[in-house]
Structure 1
Amino acid sequence: MPLLPVVVVAVIALLDVIAGAGMPWLPLLAAGPALAASTNGPRGVMCVGLLAVALGVALALGHATPARQPAAVVSALLAVTAASGLASALRGRRERVLAAVRSVAEAAQQALLQPVPDTVGPFQVAVRYSAAAAEARIGGDLYALLPTPYGIRLIVGDVRGKGLPAVGTAALVLGVFREAAQDEPDLLAVVARIERSLARNLGPDDFVTAVVAGLPDSGDLEIVNCGHAPPLLISASGEVGAVETARPAPPLGLRALSGQAPGLQRLRFAVGDQLLLYTDGVTEARDHTRAFYPLTEGVTRHVCDEPTRTLSALHDELLTHVGGRLHDDAALLLLRKKTASEPTSVPSRYEAAI
């Protein structure tokens, strides 16, 4: 039996006894079964309702009220109890349906998401995702990281739109990226395969902004930016700078409209350096004054040799900046090249979409 509805019924009965007012207090006993409908199943509602009826009859007899009045109160209590029991049963049914839907969502999540490893080859990796809705599991933000014969390759992107169409597009991008990253020695060829696939499958107004990066055995960092926010390169000394593209390219899926092809940037990626990729849900997060979250300053404040700690601090600060709830999905992926003294794991595969 739920405790709160019983307490409510007991308090009302106590007030009736103390005040000695008789009937004016007794109809309030219906609050007990009505409240129980939101906290318990039909059986609990019926128990609270019967308790309210028993107390109502006892109090009415104790006040020696006319027979009609107790009968009216009992009838009202029984009616409220029956209605509350039905409402509780319907609520339980909706909860079971919702649980089934969530199980399907969890299965979809497992198909697209895998636990991110702490280390991939000579790199430490951390990811953090915040959904705009607390119930969200998957959406239009996507990221993937996997070892290939050509080194570590990763992608972070944002699909235009929301809902199931965005999830489908994210799954398509990741599927093509997964295959192309293993097959194509050139990072631009990987991007070209994704572009061709999207051109065949997306509508004229759909597109995906993305950054595709590669870390071949040479030690250099390769980046192809397709209309996405520039990654942040963090040196071993803690200096933070945006990797601005020298050759702007349109988002994936729009190359045919602009005729512009993306360019490949090569940068030095030394031991201790870190690379942060993110979606616009981070940089476009606003506080109560409509000010954007200063990501570069946040990274400068919180960067350390443990990517997980860095992203946790950034995530907490981001939520504080927006007042506790984001209005758009936000994804962060941080990669750090370990020093020679740090242990190196066997390369593992990780890929994800949100």
Structure 2
Amino acid sequence: MAHFGACGASTGYIHPIVWSKCGTWRAGRRQWRQSRDRRAPGESNRSVAREGAIAVNGICTDKAGSTPAPSHAAARAVGIPAASRARSRRRARRVLAYALPGLWALAVLGWQCTTLGGLCFAPLLAATPVIACACTGRRPGVLLGGSYALLALVALAGAGLYETPRRWVGIEAAILIGVAASYFAAGRRARLKRELLRARRAAAAAQEALLRPLPPSVGELEVAASHLSATRGAALGGDLYDVAATPYGVRAVIGDVRGHGLAAVSTVATLLGVFREAAHDEAELAGVLHRLDRGLSRHLRERHPVGDELPDAAEEFATVLLLEVRDDGTALALNCGHPWPYRLRPGPAGSGMLRAQPAAEAEPMPPLGLFPLPAPLPRPTRLELPPGDALFLYTDGAEDARDAAGRYFPLARTLTRAGTGPGGVRAGAGADRAACGGPAALADSVRAGLLRHTRGRLSDDAAVLVLRNARAPASTAVAAPRQPVAGQAAGRRG
């Protein structure tokens, strides 16, 4: 059998998959180093790594914005430095966790050897297995901590500090009892951790089935979304969004159910289920809204039957914004008490900033569930979404989030200073090259800003949805060079 190294340095046969992966790894590493050496003063390593990802993955190879699928090996290669540092930190924490019980035993040993006056610190060795259990949480760590304590006790006895065997035996018994109790606690902790992981997997699967991850593009739109729940540990709450490609165009919904966290999940599930069916069945956007209203009313009747005296029974409602982007680029919207989206356009050339302005100023209809829909529904509001522009849809939790001092989150300013245009044009990277993030980078930027502003303590759920018209503007279309017809070419040669 031929022997070969991890990266293909070998003599003999190497499997083609291994060779391709190793070659891509080397190319990615070399590209990252070259980009790092060429970076401008003050430019961060993160931006350099992102530029390296653009070049190595083969994405954004032309000005038209075509984005072929990246190589997974190349994507991993660009993130090698950060991943290596993370692994080093985890390894250092693990080593420190196993070393702390030994350091404690050495400290007790030193105190006992240097203290005069008959003070006895040796019983503190019984805490060594307890410290090991708290630091490592593993049974091997507990046994190692008990070994540290017994070795320190043997060293004290060998030094002649304990002439009374009873005291020596008593301390040894305390250490063994501590080892037994910590061993049992570590095992129970491991079982509870496994049960928690299984519960989290099941919850994540249920959450993904309800609030499904959106594809990078739907029809001619580039799509990205992000969601933050006010309930710690939950991936969804009272906000909802979805995008569907239908025979009538791309339809999107974003909404906010009264309340937040897990208490509003059942209403969210009802609205999303109705939208996913009605978006494909109803030819008009008004029909989808009527279906949502009927579905919510039926859900509230089942949830609060007649005679329900709960004070919240008459206050259940949901704000909803329906959007339809047709094949010709026109966007129609029906709004029931929801904030209007922002229209995002590129700012001044070379600034890397955005122009954010409300996409509409019309008065919305009342939220669903409070009042019946008006008999003649108003005409859908027409929104401008030319090629290259984007619509930033959001819930009020993203705009009403406050910090510890009570200041609101500056959503509009965050959008203008996101450093990424609707097409993902990064400042300083050149307007002729689209970054690989696009709307996803913008959604992630707003999410990170919310977490920084609130320090992870949101009082309400927050959701954002970015829709970018990915059609190439007519002014940027480059005509293909005319090729001579075979007969004409033969005539010229003749």
TM tier, smaller: 0.7 to 0.9
Give the conservation status (yes or no) of the 8 Å contact 1:57–1:74.
Answer: no
Distance change in 2, residues 1:186/1:26 (3 Å): same
Q: What is the CA deviation profile of residues 192-218 of structure 1, one whole-angstrom value per residue up to 9, with x for unaligned ones? A: 101101101124332222211111224
1:137 is paired with a residue whose SS is: coil
Report the counterpart of residue 25 of structure 1 in structure 2: 121
Correspondence list, 1:156-167, <5 A? 156-167=254-265
Aligned pairs, number: 342
> How far is the alpha carbon of 1:8 from its aligned partner?
2.1
Match of 2:14 in 1: none
| Equivalent-residue separation in structure 2 for 1:43 and 1:312 (angstroms) | 41
Specify the alignment match of 1:51 in structure 2. Answer: 148
Cα displacement (A) at 1:230 = 2.0
Does structure 2 retain, via aligned residues, the 8 Å contact 1:229–1:278? yes
TM-score (norm 2): 0.63
1:297 aligned partner? 413
Is 2:428 the counterpart of 1:330? no
- Pick which of 105-114 and 231-240 moved more: 231-240
Structure 1's 43 and 300: CA in aligned 2 closer, same or farther, altered over 3 A?
closer
Letter in 2 for 1:298: T
**With structure 1 as the length reference, what TM-score do the two structures score?**
0.86
1:317 paired residue number: 449
Contact 1:158/1:279, CA 8 A, preserved across alignment: yes
> What CA distance in whole angstroms lies between the structure 2 residues aligned with 1:331 and 1:116?
13
Bigger Cα displacement from structure 2, 44-53 vs 285-294: 44-53
1:92 to 168, 172, 190: 190
The answer on whether the counterparts of 2:249 and 2:325 sit within 8 Å (CA) in structure 1 is: yes
When residues 131 and 10 of structure 1 are mapped into structure 2, their CA distance, relative to the original with a 3 A threshold, is farther
Aligned to 2:77: none
Name whichever structure is richer in strand by fraction.
Answer: 1
Residues 248 and 262 of structure 1 are in contact (CA less than 8 Å); yes or no, is this contact kept in structure 2? no
Correspondence 1:187-202 to 2 at 5 A? 187-202=285-300
Equivalent residue in structure 1 for 2:267, among 157, 165, 169: 169
2:335 equivalent among 200, 225, 230: 225
CA distance in 1, matches of 2:376, 2:397: 26
Structure 2 Cα separation of the partners of residues 22 and 210 of structure 1: 77
Tell me what 1:352 maps to.
Answer: none
Contact 2:343 2:389 in 1 (8 A): yes
Note closer, same or farther for the CA distance 1:280–1:27 as it changes in structure 2 (3 Å cut): farther
Which residue is 2:318 aligned to? 208
1:155-179, CA deviations, whole angstroms, 9 ceiling, x for partnerless residues? Answer: 1112223444422221211111011
Choose the corresponding residue for 1:41, options 130, 134, 138.
Answer: 138
CA distance in 1, matches of 2:175, 2:369: 63
Tell me by how many angstroms 1:81 deviates. Answer: 2.1
Provide the identity percentage: 39
Once the 2 structures are TM-superposed, how far is the Cα of residue 91 of structure 1 from its aligned partner? Answer: 1.4
- Call closer, same or farther: CA 1:259–1:265 in 2, change over 3 Å: closer
Task: Name the SS of the counterpart of 2:121 in structure 1.
Answer: helix
Report the Cα distance in structure 1 between the residues aligned to 2:230 and 2:157, rounded to whole angstroms. Answer: 53
Q: Which has the larger radius of gyration?
A: 2
**Aligned partners of 2:111, 2:451: CA distance in 1, in Å?**
46
Q: What is the match of residue 186 of structure 1?
A: 284
SS at match of 2:256: strand
Give the unaligned 5+ runs of structure 2. 1-96, 305-312, 348-353, 425-438, 478-494
Cα offset, 1:22, TM superposition: 7.0
Task: Give per-residue Cα distances to partners, 1:122-164, cap 9 Å, x unaligned.
Answer: 2222222234456222222211011101100011112223444
Letter in 2 for 1:207: F
Q: What is the aligned-residue RMSD (CA, Å)?
A: 2.7
Change (3 A) 1:165 1:312: closer
Q: 2-side partners of 1:84 and 1:325: how far apart?
A: 35
Q: Distance in 2 between matches of 1:125 and 1:255?
A: 32
**Secondary structure class of the residue paired with 1:185:** coil
Letter paired with 1:217: D
**CA–CA separation in structure 2 for the residues paired with 1:24 and 1:224:** 79
The runs of 5 or more residues in structure 1 that have no matched partner are: 344-354
Q: Is the 8 A contact 2:230 2:237 kept in 1?
A: no
* Contact 1:22/1:65 (<8 A) preserved: no
